[in-house]
Amino acid sequence: LRHRRSVLTSSKRSYFMSLREKMDITDQVWSELHLRAVNAMKQAYAPYSGYPVGAACLTRDGQYYSGCNVENAAYGVGLCAECGMVSDMIKDGRSEIIAFAAVNGEELPVVPCGRCRQLLSEHMTSDAMVEIPAGILPFSSVMPFSFGKTDLNEVSTSTFQEQ
């Protein structure tokens, strides 16, 4: 009996270890995100600000998406890199981001603007990590107390329904 119990315990332990390893975002993933963000940044259309941005993410099921900023002569309608990236991901039927990184024209990390943090927050898993100039941090620490779907359910007149 003791033997069986120890076998069970060790198989349980390895199950949880492999689960944890899967959740861990490896250096290889951060390199891949950086590379994809740089490639996207090179395609940016940013003649007005001279500040090209590329953004990239990895979804829970292992897919990468990226986007670049697209500016406009009517300055206010310009799109951030995150907009293109999120659109690319949603169009592909995915929405669970586990890791995110963005770079500027010097290939250095960019912190997402306030609007893009809101855009991202809808699609970030609770344990998602982001690379920003301050380091690799949980998204929840970069955007605490964010407004989300659950807030819509707090009022009885809300027409919001989970899809």
Q: In whole angstroms, how close is the CB of 59 to ligand THU at the nearest point?
A: 19
For 70, list phi and psi in degrees, rounded to 5: -130, 105
Residue from 57, 98, 103, 110 touching ligand THU (CB under 6 A): that is 110
If binding is defined by CB under 6 A, does position 112 make contact with ligand THU? yes
Beta carbon of residue 141, minimum distance to ligand THU (angstroms, whole number): 17
User: Torsion over CA of 133, 138, 144 and 148, rounded to 10 degrees?
Assistant: 120
Q: Is 107 labeled as catalytic in the residue annotation?
A: no
Range list of β-strands (E), 14-122: 54-59, 64-68, 97-103
Query: Should residue 116 be labelled a site residue for ligand THU when binding is judged by CB under 6 A?
Result: yes
Please name the amino acid found at residue 158.
S
Marked catalytic residue, from 82, 96, 131, 154: 82
Q: Cβ 123 to ligand THU, closest distance in Å?
A: 15
Please tell me whether residue 46 binds ligand THU under the rule CB under 6 A: yes
CA atoms of 54 and 34, how far apart (whole Å): 9
